[in-house]
Structure 1
């Protein structure tokens, strides 16, 4: 397709979503999407800069990288942009003391934060911890504050595991927004600050980068609003209706990461 050459010409950096692009998670740790391990290796052997961008908020960045390495991916912790460590820094900078509604697997990212007398709520994909009791406690903390602050690690609607689609943090964030009459601050995709942080780490400009993700809104729409190009893979949470989304249209659709890498290595950085 001749248009690929135009869309991908001049790309110097590639941002890769993790869940649904590299692998599908699951109770057993999950499994790589066919062809993705070698696709990452090919990218890293090329002249293109690579950054992994995730909204994963059930695992610490270290545990996520450990899992990916066990699955065969060549990846280091320093190559990953994730919302929990970024949120921890924001809390420190602003003097915020969080009440955490998060998964136990990510609590270690907030070990250096003061959690006494909370003056904000941080919500992430808490999984089974999204009970009425825990949601109501977060609601009560917010309602007791004169200036309530709700920080959400991403705002995804759902994601894909090997067992099927799973409800994501966005639904619970919306519930607290509605109940408290506030708007959450999003740390993670599709926040512009998230993408700018990743671009800064790569030392490339937005117009020189392409995002590859499975989420038409969080990955594709978020990246495009920052001036990046974006490809959507037909793996992970992809649904055929995404190609007819009323507001977001990817620059291109590919069957999987392996096909995306084939196109990038053929046309990018020309």
Structure 2
């Protein structure tokens, strides 16, 4: 346990991924991962600051929080850092008018954004909306622009639902990058700006915070590149091979969020 004491010393805040850490999505909205509801409650009753940091792009923040509250989690919309609101700020700041290749569930986040005569494409996890016709339309918008701009809400390869692993936005983002000879701008994990935004909301420096996620690259690697510590849970999209990843090594591996919280409450902020 001394090793955990060293790894967790000085932690004052926790960033929690949502999908694969708190719950697995699926039919009927999904199911909480065993012990996660209680784990979040214990964290919020402690001295540690807590923020939820997600790449969820099939639901608006409001709908996501509503789902999580129905599943029993103590969470409010203001505690969630999500890519769609961040993307809207970027679009407005740069005068960009997006063609939206997004899920209907998140379209409401872009209601205040001008989408006429598009001069960029925003892509998110569109689910069944990733048809050839819709992908081709996004390609056509990009390829006719002198300086094409592709903004992607995350770059995940896959995620976990109760029915199994599901293809994520990253694969479709890469297809458009390849077809247009461009590089997407990623809003969401593992973007450093996204993590910095969450830290700013918490009022903490990177070395004072720890990320808990199920994605070895997006959650763990992204957080560590920002100077944070990161734990990987063996739930969600976790694969045993993640513990031997050639480029990213978590500061610790835990079976689930409940175990992570046990360790944090024992060793953090000391």
User: 2:190 and 2:202 mapped to 1: Cα distance?
Assistant: 18
User: 2:244 and 2:114 mapped to 1: Cα distance?
Assistant: 45
Per the alignment, residue 105 of structure 1 pairs with: 105
Post-superposition Cα deviations, 1:36-77, rounded to whole Å, max 9, x if no partner, equal 000000000000000000000000000000000000000000
User: 1:120 and 1:63 mapped to 2: Cα distance?
Assistant: 26
User: 2:7 and 2:195 mapped to 1: Cα distance?
Assistant: 19
User: 1:156 and 1:3 mapped to 2: Cα distance?
Assistant: 31
User: 1:31 and 1:178 mapped to 2: Cα distance?
Assistant: 36
Question: Aligned pairs, how many?
Answer: 270
**Deviating runs (4+, > 3 A) in structure 1?**
none
Deviation of 1:216 after TM superposition, in Å, equals 0.1
Deviation of 1:28 after TM superposition, in Å, equals 1.1
Per the alignment, residue 223 of structure 2 pairs with: 223
Aligned alpha-carbon RMSD (Å): 0.4
Tell me which moved more, 218-227 or 1-10.
1-10
Deviation of 1:27 after TM superposition, in Å, equals 2.2
Post-superposition Cα deviations, 1:183-226, rounded to whole Å, max 9, x if no partner, equal 00000000000000000000000000000000000000000000
Deviation of 1:2 after TM superposition, in Å, equals 1.8
SS at match of 1:227: coil
SS at match of 1:248: coil
Post-superposition Cα deviations, 1:234-264, rounded to whole Å, max 9, x if no partner, equal 0000000000000000000000000000000
User: 1:28 and 1:168 mapped to 2: Cα distance?
Assistant: 20
Query: Under a length normalisation based on structure 1, what TM-score does the superposition of the two structures give?
Result: 1.00
Structure 2 residues not aligned, in runs of 5+ = none
Deviation of 1:160 after TM superposition, in Å, equals 0.1
User: 1:225 and 1:93 mapped to 2: Cα distance?
Assistant: 26
Structure 1 residues not aligned, in runs of 5+ = none
Per the alignment, residue 53 of structure 1 pairs with: 53
Query: Under a length normalisation based on structure 2, what TM-score does the superposition of the two structures give?
Result: 1.00
User: 1:187 and 1:3 mapped to 2: Cα distance?
Assistant: 34
SS at match of 1:148: coil
